[in-house]
Amino acid sequence: EMINKRFGVTLLEVVIAAAILAIAFIPIVNLLSSSATTTVKVGNYAKASDLLAKFMEEVKHVPMKIYEEKIPQLLAGEESKIPEEFYPDTLKSFAELKKDDKEFWLDNTIKAEVNKYKQIVELGISAQIAWKEKGNKEATSQPDRSLRDYALIFNSEAKQD
């Protein structure tokens, strides 16, 4: 009796093995892809957080007298925008990020509590940094992402009622 011994693999075995490897490989590729997307999103939130902190620090250190002189509507109790001259370092950071094809934008308001002597007693500053994960401000296919902050600044030099 002759026993037929065969060595090697058939084409069918190779195709099945390749299919099994491909099916096992797909979740790994998806995991790497979603990990990269998450890393970009976290990076954008970190950049926005840094911008917001920088903005708040800059505007908190502007003397109250300057606010009174440059934004007279505050003394009338009206809400206003903070002039860009009050946060030049933040604006430089925005420009640097735009060079790297990442556009962030800022919206802010300021309102004052005024005493009977027409002095600012307290400032309320609200700021929001916004961006899109992909594209610029005009990209309509992407939702806006944003971070907000609010600060109250007390004027220790104001006369108390």
The percentage of the chain sitting over the pLDDT mark of 70, rounded to a whole number, equals: 92
SS3 24: helix
Show contacts of 68-77: CB within 8 Å, 24+ apart: 68/119, 68/120, 71/110, 74/110, 74/111, 74/112, 74/114, 74/120, 74/123, 75/112, 75/114, 75/118, 75/120, 77/111, 77/112, 77/114
Residue 41 has a pLDDT of 85
Q: Which one has a higher pLDDT value, 35 or 84?
A: 84
Q: pLDDT tens for residues 90-128?
A: 999 999 988 877 889 999 999 999 999 999 999 999 999
Of 20-29, 71-80, 130-139, the poorest mean pLDDT is in: 130-139
Over range 24-34, report the average pLDDT. Answer: 81
Name residue, tokens 């084409």. Answer: 11
Return the closest-CA partner of residue 123 out of 67, 58, 72. Answer: 67
Alpha-carbon separation of residue 93 from 13, 54, 97 (angstroms): 59, 9, 6
